[in-house]
Amino acid sequence: MRRAGCVGITILFLLAVHSILAENSTSPVASANDNRTPAGRVRNGVLNLRLELRAATWYPESDTGTHHDVDAFAEEGRGPQIPGPLVRVPQGTVIYAMLHNTLPEAAKVYGLHRHPGDAKDAIALASGQSREVQFEAGEPGTYFYWATSANKSLAEREGAETQLSGAFIVDPPGAVPDDRILVVNVFQLQSPGQLPSINGKSWPHSERMTAHLDETIRWRVINVSSEMHGMHLHGFYFTVTGAGNGERYEHYADDQQRKAVTESLEVGHVFDMTWSPDRPGNWLFHCHMLVHMSPERVKDAQPAAYSDSSHDHSMGMAGLVIGITVLPGALSPKAAPNSGGPVRKLQLVISENAAKIPLYSVDVVDPAKPAAHDPKKAPRLLGPPLVLTRGEATEIEVKNQCNIPTTIHWHGIELESYYDGVVGWTGSGQQTSPPVAPGTSFIARMTPPRAGTFIYHTHWHDGAQLVNGVYGPLIVLEPGEKYDPEHDITAVFGTGLYAPFGYLLLVNGHPQPDPIQLHTGTRYRLRLINITDNISDLRVRLTSQNAPVQWKVIAKDGADLPAAQLKNSTAEMGITVGETYDVEYVSSTAGVANLEGVETPFPPAILPLQFKDAK
């Protein structure tokens, strides 16, 4: 009882402090906007909207935590919101907007015009000035509006003005909104550091969503930040139904929609997605960049110390993260196909090298084929391929022989929540995934329902493990298919401390591995994986004689592309963090073709492919 009383006193004290801060501040507190309630009033096909640009106090984490002075949008007579008030109307609506700038500096407001429109079209507002604008909403789609001082672009904003953004949605006539809108932003501080948020809050204080089995979930994801993101959904595939650049939006035809578990989100871009959960439990949707989800990298978040508590939801995470709980229902969750045969058992052994420097060795051991694990051997900045079979029940024992905890996420694999590998979150309220403490093991159970290219990697995001080798390719084959490394080439792009050169971009654990010997006239499958820490815009290309060749992209994130999308294309693409692509390539000429990963300021990581004429 005494302890409960102390907790109560502490909570009252913190609330009192927050109240005092709010009272002493000259700026109103900005509320987090979940983008469910449209701003303004629609009458006879006309939206009357009155917006103000205001100084505000923002609490990106708890309402009693660290706060920042920012600029924000607000409806006249109401408090400021981050992101700004939602503008949402049916196609054909005329928007009459009154804008008032209460900030001490001039501002330019972009995006409040007919769509598609001119990205340079801005409403200039001097300090204290009001202006009226009137326009028709335009074509259906997902858009946004934003403001800045001077002549800065969206990518150039920093400090207080980075929060001057809001969603702008145009619905088809007669449509009933049944989606959620997620505005992704990063508060760029003038001093080093940043605060990523989704709808105005940063994990573990961001929204926790609830869904039901077999429910169709529709999200609109909007990037108003100055950085790219790789948005990853745990445990399920989603379908990308449309995308745009803030001014123009395209709803994809059925044969152009693609499945994904990770999607690149460029600066000032949007995408719409649908998905349907068929397994209950806790799941995540987050940016895969370490800088946007690690307490070590996110400003104000406290680095997570090792805890015995399996219910510490903030363990190893902060920033651009949303939690989703899929509730069990009357319908039984769909089971992954099972061959009915015996359970295959494997071990994933993680150990440190003998010198105890931050470099790890990862081995896959098949107890049915005994092979000694030698923790003293030279460590690699890459784990070996983990090869599974579609429909085969599998148990993977994660053995931690390091002196710090770890956990492994099976990126892209459709499995039960408890085995997904997010400490203190995945699983359910009764049983969540535990950390794999030093000297212990954890058995992950899965029956992969599809063949494709996936990733296993640490989800203990302290930085050291991800950039020092605790990751590798996870390849699922069709029943009866044998893994053939002579025709199945895997290129895993990562980042790490490669002695003696320092922090480098790597491919298969090296900046430039030895050439792979191949033959002309033979069809090869190239499995391309980006599991770097923060390279969200990695360019991967295949060149011969310094010119890109032609290849055929056949799969993304382990899902085969629709037939309408299978065609030869120039062998160059962007691959964001957490994405995988499968491509086919046939060389008609002998010589070296270089598979390159390129990202400034790193030297390119190059995997040479040496083609010889077949005998």
Rounded CA gap, 453 and 211, in Å?
28
Q: Calculate the CA 98 to chain-centre distance.
A: 36
Of 207, 140, 187, nearest in space to 168 by CA: 140
Query: Would you place residue 324 in the very low, low, confident or very high pLDDT band (cuts 50, 70, 90)?
Result: very high
Report CA dihedral (110, 113, 116, 122) to the nearest 10 degrees: -30
Q: Calculate the CA 400 to chain-centre distance.
A: 26
**Residue 438 corresponds to which tokens in the numbers above?**
């030093």
- What pLDDT is recorded for position 11? 32
Peptide bond into 500 cis (omega under 30): yes
- Asked if 344-480 and 502-612 have one fold, the answer is yes
Query: Would you place residue 64 in the very low, low, confident or very high pLDDT band (cuts 50, 70, 90)?
Result: confident
Q: Please report, for residues 33, 228, 301, 449, 582, the alpha-carbon distance to residue 453 in angstroms, rounded to integers and kept in the order given.
A: 37, 23, 34, 13, 7
Reported as type and span, the H/E element at residue 13 is: helix 2-24
- Pairing mode of beta strands 130-136, 141-148: unpaired
Pick the range with the lowest mean pLDDT from 9-18, 537-546, 569-578: 9-18
Q: For a pLDDT cut of 70, what percent of the chain falls above it?
A: 87
Triad 108, 111, 112: Cα angle to 5°: 90
Question: Using CA of residue 445, residue 450, residue 452, residue 455, what is the dihedral sign?
Answer: negative
Q: For a pLDDT cut of 90, what percent of the chain falls above it?
A: 73
DSSP for 227-294 reads S-EEEEESSS-EEEEEEE-SS-EEEPPGGG-EEESEEEE-TT-EEEEEE---S-EEEEEEE--GGGT-
- Whether residue 147 contacts residue 170, with contact meaning beta carbons closer than 8 Å, is answered with no
**Residue 136 corresponds to which tokens in the numbers above?**
């028709």
Helix (H, G, I), strand (E, B) or coil at 485: coil
Answer yes or no: is pLDDT of 608 > 80.
yes
Helix (H, G, I), strand (E, B) or coil at 22: helix
Query: Would you place residue 192 in the very low, low, confident or very high pLDDT band (cuts 50, 70, 90)?
Result: low
Q: Which residue ranges make up each domain of the chain?
A: 18-327, 344-480, 502-612
With a CB cutoff of 8 Å and minimum separation 6, the contacts of 539 are 572, 573, 574, 575, 597, 598, 599
Rounded CA gap, 283 and 316, in Å?
15
pLDDT in tens, 477-510: 999 999 999 899 999 999 988 878 888 999 999 9
**Residue 172 corresponds to which tokens in the numbers above?**
């088809």
- What pLDDT is recorded for position 356? 46
Q: Please report, for residues 96, 428, 532, 553, the alpha-carbon distance to residue 170 in angstroms, rounded to integers and kept in the order given.
A: 15, 37, 36, 33
- Phi, psi dihedrals of residue 608, rounded to the nearest 5°: -75, 135
Peptide bond into 601 cis (omega under 30): yes
Query: Would you place residue 295 in the very low, low, confident or very high pLDDT band (cuts 50, 70, 90)?
Result: confident
Mean pLDDT of 304-317: 47
Query: Would you place residue 587 in the very low, low, confident or very high pLDDT band (cuts 50, 70, 90)?
Result: very high
The hierarchical CATH code for the domain 344-480 is 2.60.40.420
Query: Would you place residue 357 in the very low, low, confident or very high pLDDT band (cuts 50, 70, 90)?
Result: very low
β-partners of residue 547 are: 544
Question: Using CA of residue 399, residue 401, residue 403, residue 409, what is the dihedral sign?
Answer: negative
What would you measure as the largest C-alpha separation in the chain, in angstroms?
A: 84
Mean pLDDT of 117-143: 96
**Residue 292 corresponds to which tokens in the numbers above?**
């946007």
Rounded CA gap, 612 and 610, in Å?
7
Residue whose token pair is 């040479």: 608
CB neighbour class for 17 (10 Å; exposed up to 12, middle 13-18, buried from 19): exposed
Give the single-character DSSP code of 63.
Answer: T
CB neighbour class for 604 (10 Å; exposed up to 12, middle 13-18, buried from 19): middle
With a CB cutoff of 8 Å and minimum separation 6, the contacts of 381 are 359, 468, 469, 494, 496, 498, 506, 509, 510
Rounded CA gap, 269 and 365, in Å?
43
Rounded CA gap, 435 and 47, in Å?
52
pLDDT in tens, 436-488: 999 999 999 999 999 999 999 999 866 788 888 899 999 999 999 999 998 99
- What pLDDT is recorded for position 368? 74
**Residue 437 corresponds to which tokens in the numbers above?**
């403490």
Q: Which residue has the higher pLDDT, 585 or 368?
A: 585
In which region does residue 609 sit, left (phi positive, over 0), alpha (psi from -120 to 50) or beta (all else)?
A: beta
- What pLDDT is recorded for position 210? 96
Amino acid at 278: D
pLDDT in tens, 366-395: 877 755 555 555 557 899 999 999 999 999
Query: Would you place residue 277 in the very low, low, confident or very high pLDDT band (cuts 50, 70, 90)?
Result: very high
pTM for the whole structure = 0.91
Superfamily (CATH) of domain 18-327: Cupredoxins -  blue copper proteins (2.60.40.420)
E-state strands within 429-567? 441-446, 452-458, 471-477, 488-498, 502-507, 516-519, 523-530, 538-544, 547-548, 550-556, 559-560
Rounded CA gap, 48 and 499, in Å?
62
Mean pLDDT of 118-137: 96
**Residue 467 corresponds to which tokens in the numbers above?**
């950039």
With a CB cutoff of 8 Å and minimum separation 6, the contacts of 335 are 447
- What pLDDT is recorded for position 65? 84
**Residue 379 corresponds to which tokens in the numbers above?**
């460590």
Whether CATH 2.60.40.420 fits 502-612: yes
Rounded CA gap, 37 and 441, in Å?
47
Rounded CA gap, 87 and 49, in Å?
9
Helix (H, G, I), strand (E, B) or coil at 120: coil
- Whether residue 378 contacts residue 353, with contact meaning beta carbons closer than 8 Å, is answered with yes
- What pLDDT is recorded for position 188? 74
- Pairing mode of beta strands 80-82, 29-32: parallel
Amino acid at 11: I
- Whether residue 182 contacts residue 231, with contact meaning beta carbons closer than 8 Å, is answered with no
Rounded CA gap, 518 and 45, in Å?
65
Q: How many CB atoms lie within 10 A of CB 463?
A: 18
Mean confidence (pLDDT) of the chain: 88
Pick the range with the lowest mean pLDDT from 296-305, 536-545, 599-608: 296-305
- What pLDDT is recorded for position 498? 83
